[in-house]
Amino acid sequence: MAALPGPRQLVLALDHAESFARDDFLPGPSNEAGLALVERWPDWPSPVMALVGPEGSGKSHLAAIWAALSGARILSARLLDEADVPRALTTGAVVIEDLAADGIDERALFHLLNLAREQEASVLLTARSAPAGHAFRIADLASRLRAVPVVALTPPDETLLRALIVKLAADRQLRVDEALVSFLVTRIERSYAAARAAVALIDREAMRLKRPPTRALAAELWRDRA
């Protein structure tokens, strides 16, 4: 009689702390315009600016750096309501994160932009795409957002991608060597999201299999994914 397979080890998906300090930001050609924007404040071309880029591209990290410089509050666009608006601008600066055309209170956002202009406050919007391309129902809000200057974050180059993999691993207290980093850089899409997914996979499988995070392990995992 064939032996039954042993129980599969389960690995809990735990959150990992990620530092948003200025010293932990990884600069590169893909994000230099965004970093220049937050560090030149208050010398901005407009009181309201938009920082756009794909998932994981560093928008929240840059917003946190700017918040530390400006004293800005950081609010989710989806959680903003009109009752929040006066309090949101008490420091004279606010970040509105993850702006999208759906799931937000458009009246609250319009009220906030109007009040910010009256009070000469600074507003930093973050979004995956430029606000001008969003289909807002309130015409005056859409018009106002079309006029907001946009700074875009682009996919990382190879140097930044390597540094990002090392940082993401360090955030998980995972030690990776050059062989593993080089293997991942040649196998994954050149994007922030792909780097995060790859490091998470290596971490999860290394724990499950009780093996070190090596190039050999990665080669097995990517062979299975081919």
Q: What is the CATH number of domain 158-225?
A: 1.10.8
Instruction: Quote the pLDDT of residue 158.
Output: 95
Q: Are 128 and 52 in contact (CB under 8 A)?
A: yes
pLDDT digits (tens, 9 = 90+) for 97-133: 999 988 899 999 999 999 999 999 999 999 999 999 8
- pLDDT (tens digit per residue) in 35-57: 999 999 999 999 999 999 998 89
3-state secondary structure 178-219: HHHHHHHHHHCCCCHHHHHHHHHHHHHHHHHHCCCCCHHHHH
| CATH 3.40.605.10 given to domain 29-152 | no
If you ran DSSP here, which 8-state letter would residue 77 be given? G
pLDDT surpassing 50 at residue 14: no
Q: Across residues 186-192, what is the average pLDDT? A: 94
* Residue range 160-174: mean pLDDT, rounded: 94
Q: Do the two domains 29-152 and 158-225 of this chain adopt the same fold?
A: no
Any bridge partners for residue 74, and if so which?
95
Q: For 159-181, what is the mean pLDDT?
A: 94
Annotated domain spans of the chain: 29-152, 158-225
Does the structure show a pLDDT above 70 at 6? no
